[in-house]
Amino acid sequence: MKNSPISEEVGLPGFAPILVIAPPSVTKNWEVSTKIIVIWPLNFCCLVFLINLCSTISLQNEFSSWGHFNVAPIYGGSGREKALDRIKIGLDFILIVGKSTFTRADDFEALISVHWKMIIVDEYHEYKNHASAAHMRLADLRDKSACPVIGMTGTLMQNNHKELYHLIDMVRPGLFGDWSTFRTDISDPLKYARAKDAKAECVSMGKDRQKVLDRMLKPVYLVRKKEEALKDNLTKKNEKVVFCQLSDVQKQLYRHILTLPDYDLLRFANAPCECGVNTQYFIRYKKLKTKKEQIAYQRRHKDQLKSKKRCCFRYPRNPYWDDNDLSEPFIDPDAILWKQLHDKPIGDPDSIEEDILDNKYITCKQCPSCIQLPAMMKLMKICSHPSLLQVAHSEVGESKRKKLEFAEVALPPEIRSKLPGGTLYQYESLTNNHVKLSGKMKTLDYLVRLELLSTCPVSVLFFVVVTCFAIFLF
Ligand SMILES: [Zn+2]
Ligand SMILES: [Zn+2]
């Protein structure tokens, strides 16, 4: 059950699949930008993060810092059937096609056989001619799937009312009524008002109708301002810090990780060593009567107190290690981070700092602080999404080996079984509990629902550019 992508438990997410139609010349760009589009898995709507392509944020990193998402292939060339199959069984949830592919008869037949949840059209102004094949096919596709259409354009021709009418009618059918009524009520008065010799009442009527048109356009036509304008409008006014709890699985995983020898080593590094080296210090300390004397003693003799990291616990020592029994290694076998950092080729004169342990680990001068950063990174991953400790299928070679080694100790069976797929590997598709597993995502999900429900009762898309994205990064 767990391994079947079409099972009830882990079926196609409620928002998928989504079709993206782009002009052939930009389909490559779309391939890049899909990596930064995060489709938010809500039941009744979806959220699209559209981060500006000019941004310096590494797109792939941004994407993977949130969780594990599938990025869809381009539909075209010889792989088109396979791409469509992956969409149909739910392995991918966005399909990108070029406009020419989309309008070609046999490809269109294949596309219309899928029940799309949403269609996103880039360079939408190219669909302004309602008698063109592109426009008619798009309408057919929309009607067949009965799904929302999102048009994106930098040049919506507002002066040509007929084109505007048909572009809007595609995304919100019936909003303007039929064309002849729209022409009589809106288009003609606006045209007359613009004439050189227009009478005063014509001009006044034109202004009035322009207001009506603007009001009608407001809920369907979202103007995406230039980044500069957006910066002032959004980040300054809307920035809020929201604290969120870890999910139960995250808490369990976090607590477990803290018991691993790598983390134990770091957590108690500054505690006094218990091997006996500090016995004299404590005997004398206990004889002191007043608080004042104790504090004075601590200050005077602080150099005599030996911390674990400066004494017996510079390295993650194996608690079962025994001088007389050579079968146990000196280093704790579960100290994956330390072992991976110090497993260097012996014989390289540059790498030898101090000792060689277990005949393969070369210690460094910073031990044990050297594992602080990798240890923190793992904890941060847990806080984003527990699935990030599972190994991606795209991983290969040394990096894969290291991640698997860590996942093996970090994800014992009782925790592993609660993650998507229930194995050490990331599940290939998105699962329905993807949001529930992460406290951050759960909170974001709640905020988005709140926002959507309070501003707009129908399902809408939320376009968020990079400046705004920061609002949600907590
Ligand atoms: Zn000691
Ligand atoms: Zn070290």
| DSSP class per residue in 346-411 | TT-TTT--S-EETTTEE--TTTTGGGHHHHHHHHHHHHH-GGGGSBPTT--HHHHHHHHHHHHHHS
Ligand with an atom nearest the CA of residue 357: 2
Dist. CA 124–CA 144, nearest whole Å: 20
Specify the pTM: 0.57
Ligand with an atom nearest the CA of residue 365: 2
Ligand with an atom nearest the CA of residue 354: 2
The three-class DSSP label of residue 27 is: helix
Dist. CA 250–CA 255, nearest whole Å: 9
How far, in Å, from the CA of 314 to the mean position of ligand 2?
8
Exposure class string for 351-366: b at 16+ Cβ within 10 A, else e? eeeeeebbeebbbbee
Q: Is the pLDDT of residue 473 over 50?
A: no
How far, in Å, from the CA of 370 to the mean position of ligand 2?
5
Give the pLDDT of residue 302: 83
Give the pLDDT of residue 250: 93
How far, in Å, from the CA of 320 to the mean position of ligand 2?
22
Give the pLDDT of residue 353: 58
Return the top range by mean pLDDT from 83-97, 241-255, 305-319.
Answer: 305-319
Q: What is the mean predicted confidence (pLDDT) over 147-161?
A: 75
Q: Among 44-58, 91-105, 446-460, which is the least confidently predicted range?
A: 44-58
Ligand with an atom nearest the CA of residue 310: 1
| Contact in structure between 184 and 156 (CB atoms under 8 Å) | no
Q: Where are the domains of the chain?
A: 18-238, 251-271+307-430
Ligand with an atom nearest the CA of residue 271: 1
How far, in Å, from the CA of 366 to the mean position of ligand 2?
5
How far, in Å, from the CA of 353 to the mean position of ligand 1?
21
Q: Among 46-55, 305-314, 315-324, which is the least confidently predicted range?
A: 46-55
Ligand with an atom nearest the CA of residue 353: 2
Higher pLDDT, 125 or 251: 251
How far, in Å, from the CA of 273 to the mean position of ligand 2?
19
Dist. CA 44–CA 28, nearest whole Å: 30
How far, in Å, from the CA of 311 to the mean position of ligand 1?
4
Return the top range by mean pLDDT from 27-36, 39-48, 417-426.
Answer: 417-426
How far, in Å, from the CA of 307 to the mean position of ligand 1?
8
Burial of 101 per CB tally in 10 Å (0-12, 13-18, 19+): buried
How far, in Å, from the CA of 363 to the mean position of ligand 2?
5
How far, in Å, from the CA of 277 to the mean position of ligand 1?
6
Q: Is the pLDDT of residue 290 over 80?
A: yes
Ligand with an atom nearest the CA of residue 268: 1
How far, in Å, from the CA of 324 to the mean position of ligand 1?
19
Instruction: Give, in words, the CATH class of 18-238.
Output: alpha beta
- Please give the helix or strand (H or E) that residue 46 lies within, else none: strand 46-49
How far, in Å, from the CA of 63 to the mean position of ligand 1?
45
Instruction: Say how far residue 295 (Cα) sits from the centre of its chain.
Output: 50
| Contact in structure between 416 and 433 (CB atoms under 8 Å) | no
- The widest CA-to-CA distance across the chain, in whole angstroms, is 108
Q: What is the mean predicted confidence (pLDDT) over 411-435?
A: 85
| Contact in structure between 144 and 112 (CB atoms under 8 Å) | yes
Ligand with an atom nearest the CA of residue 317: 1
How far, in Å, from the CA of 312 to the mean position of ligand 1?
4
Q: Is the pLDDT of residue 53 over 70?
A: no
How far, in Å, from the CA of 262 to the mean position of ligand 2?
11
Q: Among 220-229, 242-251, 456-465, which is the least confidently predicted range?
A: 456-465
For strands 149-151 and 118-121, give the pairing: parallel
Among all chains, which residue has been given the structure tokens 């069984």?
89
* pLDDT tens string 101-150: 777 888 888 888 888 887 878 778 888 899 999 999 999 999 998 887 87
